[in-house]
Amino acid sequence: ETGVTQTPRHLVMGMTNKKSLKCEQHLGHNAMYWYKQSAKKPLELMFVYSLEERVENNSVPSRFSPECPNSSHLFLHLHTLQPEDSALYLCASSQGDGAGKTQYFGPGTRLLVL
C-alpha cells in the first residue's frame, strides 16, 4: 500500500528514444521530488517542485526535463539518454517543503538505457 505511485515500473529504452516517467501522489501533499538511485551511489536529488513551481534543479543534464502540471502529478521526460543514466528513479512527496517535512516515496521506475 502506497500513497505515491509511479509508472512504468520498468523501462528499457534506446539512446534515441523519448519516454516519460509518471508519478502520482494521493496524500494531498504540495511538494514533489525526483531522485536518482544508481548502483553503489547514494540517492541523488534531481528536482523539487513546491506548489507546482520548480524550486530546485540539482545540476541535472537537460536530457531530463521535469513537469508538474498540478500538485498531484509529476513527470520526468527523458530524451537522448546515455547508458550511465540507467538507474532507479524515485518520486517522493511531502506536505510542504520545509526541512522537517517527511518525504514519502513511490516504488520507483527502474530504467535501463541501451
Partner 1 sequence: AQKVTQAQTEISVVEKEDVTLDCVYETRDTTYYLFWYKQPPSGELVFLIRRNSFDEQNEISGRYSWNFQKSTSSFNFTITASQVVDSAVYFCALRRGSNDYKLSFGAGTTVTVRA
| List of residues contacting partner 1 (CB under 8 A) | 2, 33, 42-43, 45, 48, 55-56, 58, 88, 90, 92, 97, 99-100, 102-108, 110
Q: b/e per residue, 78-98, with b = 16+ CB within 10 A?
A: beebeeebbbebbbbbbeebe
Question: What's the closest the beta carbon of residue 92 comes to partner 1, in angstroms?
Answer: 8
Q: Which is nearer to partner 1, 80 or 107 (CB)?
A: 107
For residue 16, the minimal CB distance to partner 1 (Å) is 27
Residue 44 or 67: which CB sits closer to partner 1?
Answer: 44
Nearer to partner 1, 31 or 81 (CB): 31
SS3 content of the chain, % helix, strand, coil (to 5): 5, 55, 40
